[in-house]
Amino acid sequence: MRIAVMGTGYVGLVTGATLAASGHDVACLDILPERVAALNAGECPIFEPGLPELLAAGLASGKLRGSGEMADEISAADLTFICVGTPSRDNGSMDMAQVESAAAAIGDVLAGGEREHVVVVKSTVLPRMTEELVLPRVLERSGRDRASVGFAMNPEFLREGSAVADALAPDRIVIGAADRLALAKMRELYAGAKCPVLECDPRTAEMVKYASNAFLAAKVSYANEVANLCEAWGIDFATVAEGMGLDDRISPRFLRAGAGYGGSCFPKDVKALRAAAAAENLPAAMLDATLAVNESQPLLLVAWAHDALGSLEGKRVAILGLAFKPETDDVREARATVVAHALLEAGASVVGCDPQAAKNFSALCDIEIAPSAEAALAGADCAILMTEWPEYAALPPAAFAERMARPLLLDGRRAFDAAAMRNAGVEYRAIGLGGNE
């Protein structure tokens, strides 16, 4: 099939590259010539394992290309995927300006034509947006009727750090088709799928995406709240989580205690769902609690640093890991940002390091950036692990005991062996450890 993908951000690039790898002819569209040129030169603008190689393979095969010729590419395509951003406003609600603009652009291109075309919303949008915003805007601008233009919502379930694997071998495909044309084309697109395929209407597909992310975020916050109780009562939450996870109704996934979740999906989606509920006076107590726990959780580490050091004024604190999770350079809603700002407000001197995200983090928070963990630890009064990059989790106790002015390690991700650290003379504390070794 011939496919146009609007947007060359995270979702657009992964979607385009994996569709091309499946044998489809894909044009990734962008209005900025420099982005198109960079894509066609094989340059990957984000750090995502496997994506540069997938882009290179698509370009080499001729199945993938970047293009700024929106009219030509959309008019010749069978499907146009909308993969543009849906950022949060200050009040948590979703900004649909890019989606609305994309819908209008598609409508303008389709005006006067008769060839069948299906518009697929891949961007994360709230329930009813495909039917009540995208569909009418495309039809209004195109002057076409529903017979020759189909609409579908096809949410993405990509995890940063493993997005390529998730896209090539998904655990599910959700097709929210608004009409028979869209359903037929989407069935053709995913004919070789080896995973469960759920067919539904667009608003249900939209809600599947939000409900999934909100549930996982709630599970993280619940685990952290229970871990905090365990900490107070001298119980190791890791063992509690193991016992809980043996129940297959619960499962062990997302039951790790830590400093909270971040990234481009969980925070934004929970906030948007809560804001949408509030706009219609619908209760959302679980969403409120999920967000509240996640906002307070990273501040525990700052409080612990204050308790141990007496005052943070003038103290040097090293933050190991700035990305919201390993294997990405994404710092959106990273809990390290919350910790860094709180430390700076308390008068601490903050130095951070990260294998991939240091540059992006510097745009959000003005701290010293060290070239390595060892350099960050040198002379530090406290170290806080915020991202469990493998190279940080593998640091030996001696790296802390011998380099730091005071070997105080606060583990925000439960990545280190408590007994090994304490035996080496490191003051070690981790969320949910409960004082146990």
Closest CA to 432 of 222, 216, 226: 226
Give the up-direction half-sphere exposure of residue 316: CA atoms within 13 A in the CB hemisphere: 17
Strands 117-121 and 149-153, sheet pairing: parallel
Give the up-direction half-sphere exposure of residue 75: CA atoms within 13 A in the CB hemisphere: 12
> What stretches of 234-377 show up as alpha helix (H) in DSSP?
237-245, 266-279, 285-296, 299-309, 335-345, 358-362, 373-377
Which residues pair with residue 320 across a beta bridge? 353, 385
Task: With H, G, I as helix, E, B as strand and everything else as coil, classify residue 124.
Answer: coil
Catalytic residue, chosen from 265, 353, 365, 382, is 265
Element housing 92 (H / E)? none
Sign, Cα dihedral of 30, 35, 37, 42: negative
User: Do the beta carbons of residue 408 and residue 383 sit within 8 Å?
Assistant: yes
Token duo for residue 391: 């190279």
User: Do the beta carbons of residue 426 and residue 437 sit within 8 Å?
Assistant: no
Task: With H, G, I as helix, E, B as strand and everything else as coil, classify residue 428.
Answer: strand
User: Do the beta carbons of residue 261 and residue 217 sit within 8 Å?
Assistant: yes
Catalytic residue status for 265: yes
DSSP label at residue 159: P
Strands 197-200 and 173-177, sheet pairing: parallel
Task: With H, G, I as helix, E, B as strand and everything else as coil, classify residue 18.
Answer: helix
CA 330 to chain centre: 8
Residues identified as active-site: 265
